[in-house]
Amino acid sequence: MKIGSAGLALIKSFEGLFLKAYDDFNDHIVQPGQHVRGTLTIGWGHTTAAGPPKVYVGQEITADEAEAILEADLVSVSLEVSHLVKVPLNQNQFDALDSFQYNTGWLGHPNCSLLHALNSGNYALAESDFMLYDRGNGQVLQGLVRRRKAELELFHKPA
């Protein structure tokens, strides 16, 4: 499977489009010489950890480049989700998991309770486990709470 329009729209609604490199700690455009507290990010939430291109201070891209980067990132994310999830999913469930993986990268982690619950066939537990991933630096972040709720809503939506 590959991400559908609902998943793409969800990701874009939470990531926002930044054509200049920014610090995801505070969504501040980073100028040369400034300290980065979080992760250097560009486009629709692209980080160096996601693969090329490497994000650097002062970097600028076009909207078309941001779309191409997102498309490439989502190919990798969809492949990860397809490889990791061993139970049947409808398109909306797949899209919700793509958004989750794009944002957290946690599905492949050995301690990912959401994936363990899902692969054991316990969809209800997997659904509640979405809400366990609402923290940044040990603190509950309202933006992550909203995102997990939106992912959960999409996960529940019939295809």
pLDDT tens-place string over residues 1-50:
999 999 999 999 999 999 999 999 889 999 999 999 999 999 999 999 99
State the amino acid at position 26 in one-letter form: N
Tokens 């486990």 found at: 129
- Please give the angle made by the CA atoms of 122, 77 and 59, to the nearest 5 degrees: 140
CATH code for position 43:
1.10.530.40
The model's pLDDT over 93-145, given as tens digits with 9 standing for 90+, comes to 999 999 999 999 999 999 999 999 999 999 999 989 999 999 987 889 999 99
Calpha distance 51→76 (Å, rounded) = 9
* Catalytic center residues: 15
Q: Give the structural domain span for 41.
A: 5-156
Residue 29 near residue 22, CB atoms below 8 Å: yes
CA 50 to chain centroid, in Å, comes to 10
**How many domains does the chain divide into?**
1
pTM exceeds 0.85, yes or no: yes
